Amino acid sequence: MKRSQPALDQLFANQIQVLATTLRPKTVKCYRYCARNFLAYLHTTFPRLHNLSQLRRDPHLLSWFRFLCQQYPPPRKRFRELHLLTIRRLLRDLADQEHPLMPDLIRREDFPPRDHYLPRPLPLEEDQHLQQQLYLSDTLEANALRLMRATGIRISECIALPWNCLQHLSNQQVALHVPLGKLHSEHLVPVDEKTQRIVRRMVELGALTPISTYQSQAFLLPRYRQPETWYKALHDTLAEMARAAGCTSHVHPHRLRHAFATEMVRLGVSLPALMQMLGHKDIRMTLRYVEWFSSTSNANFTALAKTRLLSTPFPSSHFPPVQFPGRLTSLPFARVSALPTTSFSYSSLSWKIRLAVNFADSRSGSSPSTTNSIT
């Protein structure tokens, strides 16, 4: 009987090895972690379970679901969802290979409901102070963080940027070519002259690295550090800069991406254009930034309305009904209430933002007249 126990482990290990031919190493590592936890629970709680044909939804899977929920401290929903997704994929693949398995061992109703999180950009004042602090340092790490804030790229995409990532699309348009990243897609982000200087400075600093190998020269961030080490270096540098800038909340590199995206929404960049610049595959991912802006705009408008209501006495005379001369307009994807004293127009955008709007709208097939604007 003891010989049959590793057979279950071996089946899972072999199937994960098959998946390793098409999945990223980090994803394969996640599969191994979840499978190890699942099999360890089965061996401990059901020592007589040795074959896949013995596996049942009740009691084996249902008791495992309860075990995942009853741990202390309680795991996050994402942790449970990740385990269910990976084990369901492995069980389905094994069933497709004609292993004797009961159907519907893991069902859709077993997954915890997903939480809907809005982006968490930095407050405007902290964002400005942080950018000023980053400009005071001329290191590779600081310039990489400045590049992430100026283009909205992910930290993994920044680490994977080649040294020749700038592409001249025309005489007046230069774009940052972002290689295959998290969503297995590459995209272009328009950049202005200031951002181009950041990239050129990173190339200069990379040439001064202590180890100059062919592999190091192929990347904007030289490989005298491993990619995993660059993650820690950028996180640590950003945390140090955030403390120096007086940021009160926790700042991590992905919040720079949120800050870039919400800035584009605030300045009126269209959703198709923003979706392309961020490298999203689903418009719902981009809509979260509009939802965030709508909620914050409504909150600001409500606070301003309350202030005016308290400071202005209510008139005693009767006002005639107001006749609106025209039709009210709003954003086509979300209802946004802007402050009455705030007015953004396409002509008031900086050169950098106008370049981004023109570039992205032209590539997404929309015209400037359809660009979302805040009036």
Peptide bond before residue 315 is cis, with ω within 30 degrees of 0 = no
Query: How many C-beta neighbours within 10 Å does residue 351 have?
Result: 10
Query: How many C-beta neighbours within 10 Å does residue 339 have?
Result: 12
Domain range 124-251, CATH architecture: Orthogonal Bundle (1.10)
pLDDT tens for each residue of 69-124: 888 777 788 889 999 999 999 999 999 998 988 888 999 998 888 777 778 888 88
Query: How many C-beta neighbours within 10 Å does residue 296 have?
Result: 15
Report H helices in the chain. Answer: 5-19, 25-45, 62-69, 77-96, 124-135, 140-151, 155-159, 193-207, 214-217, 227-245, 253-266, 271-278, 283-311, 351-364
d(CA 336, CA 120): 18
d(CA 348, CA 230): 38
The structural domains of the chain, with segments of one domain joined by +, span 5-110, 124-251
Q: What is the pLDDT of residue 208?
A: 81
Report the half-sphere exposure of 25 (CA within 13 A, side-chain side).
2
Cα dihedral 352/357/360/362 (nearest 10):
-120
Element (H, E) at 102: none
Q: What is the pLDDT of residue 55?
A: 93
d(CA 150, CA 38): 43
**Residue 354 CB contacts under 8 Å (≥ 6 apart), including other chains:** 346
pLDDT tens for each residue of 320-367: 444 434 433 333 333 333 333 333 333 334 444 455 555 555 554 544
Pairing, β 166-168 against β 187-191: unpaired
Q: What is the pLDDT of residue 118?
A: 77
pLDDT digit string (tens) for the chain, length 375 residues = 344 444 888 999 999 999 999 888 889 999 999 999 999 999 999 999 988 889 999 999 999 999 998 887 777 888 899 999 999 999 999 999 989 888 889 999 988 887 777 788 888 899 999 999 999 999 999 999 999 999 999 999 999 899 899 988 888 889 999 887 666 778 889 999 999 999 999 999 888 876 655 455 688 888 776 778 899 999 999 999 999 999 998 999 999 999 999 998 888 888 888 888 888 888 888 888 888 877 776 555 455 445 444 444 444 434 344 443 443 333 333 333 333 333 333 333 444 445 555 555 555 454 443 334 333
d(CA 291, CA 289): 5
Contact 317, 356 (CB under 8 A): no
